[in-house]
Amino acid sequence: MKKKKIAILGSTGSIGTTLLDVIKKKDFDIVFLTAKNNYKKLLYQAKIFNVKNLIITDKISYSKAIKQNQNNKIKIFNNFKSFNLIIKNKLDYVMSSISGLDGLFPTFKIIKFTKKIAIANKETIICAWPLLKKELIKNNTFFVPVDSEHFSLWQEIKNLNTNEIKKIYLTASGGPLLNKSIKSFKKTNLKTILKHPTWLMGKKISVDSATMMNKCYEVIEAKLIFDLDFKKIDILIQPDSYIHAIVLYNNGFSKMIFHDTTMKIPVFNSIYSNDKNYFKLNDLNIKKLNNLKLQNVMINRYPVTKILQMIPKNHSLFETVITSVNDAVVNKFLDKKIKFNDISKFVLKLCNDRNLNKYKSKTPKKIEDILKLNSDIKLNISKLIT
């Protein structure tokens, strides 16, 4: 059987690493892998999977990789414009897992080079979905969302008319502070926030999970991907992260989508969807199903969820404002410049700023509009966070 040609944008991160963990070498020819600065792990991955092309975007890391590379068969490039040099024929599959808006440009540019793209990057979808969708249609590229919630929903409702759906619920663990008193938030340290109760995640997304901003992002994603009204989307807390989504239908039926708390399941199914390969499943977890402890989201505990009330009906540059502002504020917390309970306060305050609210009426015409606004906000926002 002919090997499928694939590539991974962001192979050293958690999703990229998970993909490499679940695939069988005999099934795929990995045309290239990318990383920002973790060149040692990238070179190791290239050795294990016999990858001939690497892209390392950080210039210092790129230089170090060039010096360390003892295999003349491996070509190392420094930017995503190298796609034209690396890809000779259309790839069968690409995983886009570069975090943040750093993933926007390569995700957009790789679409024309692949038959199928799995996107695990929230910010790219949130800020640029109409542009991405247009590019997907133009190049006849098949799209798969990789977030566990959105993959679950995609499996369930991708072929349905939205009129058949009464409501969907995305679930959240509630983060590490779910059972802590709100008064204690002022004294909560970074170590506590980064200790997520159910998922092993990076620092930024762990903070977003604690504030519930991560789930706000996922609500926006669901609205865009499935063309749903915000009124049809809600959030429920399910502490074990065993339930990933719930769908209520207008015919009276409801469906609950659940699986073990691992990204291996959506990642595996994104690449092996039509193949005779089977994921090794655990038995049904009766204990978790009998102790779901579903809860509504309390705004006083997760005030950042008010952000969903600010988003205009039609997609705009305001979604970029939200992601850029939140990134900047969370970085302040990670740098220990502000307290945890200041995050929501500053995000809401800045997103209410008159100069940023004007972007609700502006539509991104090209991805450069999004990248420029993101850069401008991050350049000027520090002086506003005091």
Domain boundaries for CATH 1.10.1740.10 within the chain: 310-386
For the ranges 1-10, 216-225, 268-277, which has the lowest average pLDDT?
268-277
pLDDT digits (tens, 9 = 90+) for 368-386: 999 999 999 988 877 667 6
CA dist 176 and 180 (Å) reads 8
Tell me the mean pLDDT in the region 318-322.
Answer: 97
pLDDT of residue 87: 96
Q: What is the mean pLDDT of the chain?
A: 93
Domain boundaries for CATH 3.40.50.720 within the chain: 4-145
- Residue owning tokens 């886009």: 96
Contact 18, 45 (CB under 8 A): no
pLDDT of residue 384: 67
pLDDT of residue 10: 97
- Residue owning tokens 């972007």: 359
pLDDT of residue 1: 66
Question: What order of strands is seen across the sheet that includes strand 254-258?
Answer: 254-258, 243-249, 165-172, 233-237, 295-296
Contact 235, 171 (CB under 8 A): yes
Close Cβ partners of 294 (under 8 Å, ≥ 6 residues apart): 171, 236, 237, 238, 243
pLDDT digits (tens, 9 = 90+) for 165-194: 999 999 999 999 999 999 999 889 889 998
pLDDT of residue 281: 73
pLDDT digits (tens, 9 = 90+) for 84-93: 999 999 999 9
Q: Quick one: three-class SS letters along 31-100?
A: EEEEECCCHHHHHHHHHHHCCCEEEECCHHHHHHHHHHCCCCCCEEECCHHHHHHHCCCCECEEEECCCH
Please check the confidence at residue 200 and state whether its pLDDT lies above 80. no
Phi/psi at 101 (5° precision): -75, -5
pLDDT digits (tens, 9 = 90+) for 344-356: 999 999 999 999 9
pLDDT of residue 380: 83
Instruction: Kindly state the DSSP code that residue 147 receives in the 8-state scheme.
Output: S
For the ranges 18-27, 115-124, 216-225, which has the lowest average pLDDT?
18-27
CATH topology of domain 4-145: Rossmann fold (3.40.50)
CA dist 278 and 113 (Å) reads 28
CA dist 262 and 375 (Å) reads 33
pLDDT of residue 360: 97
Close Cβ partners of 208 (under 8 Å, ≥ 6 residues apart): 214, 217, 326, 330
The CATH class of the 310-386 domain is: mainly alpha
pLDDT of residue 308: 96
CA dist 25 and 16 (Å) reads 15
Instruction: Kindly state the DSSP code that residue 297 receives in the 8-state scheme.
Output: P
Q: Which residues of 171-205 are buried (b: 16+ CB within 10 A; e: fewer)?
A: bbbbbbbbeeeeeebeebeeeebbebbbbebeebb
What pTM did the predictor assign?
A: 0.93
pLDDT digits (tens, 9 = 90+) for 107-162: 999 999 999 999 999 999 999 999 999 999 999 999 999 998 999 999 899 888 88
Phi/psi at 133 (5° precision): -60, -40
Q: Which helix (H) or strand (E) holds 144?
A: strand 142-145
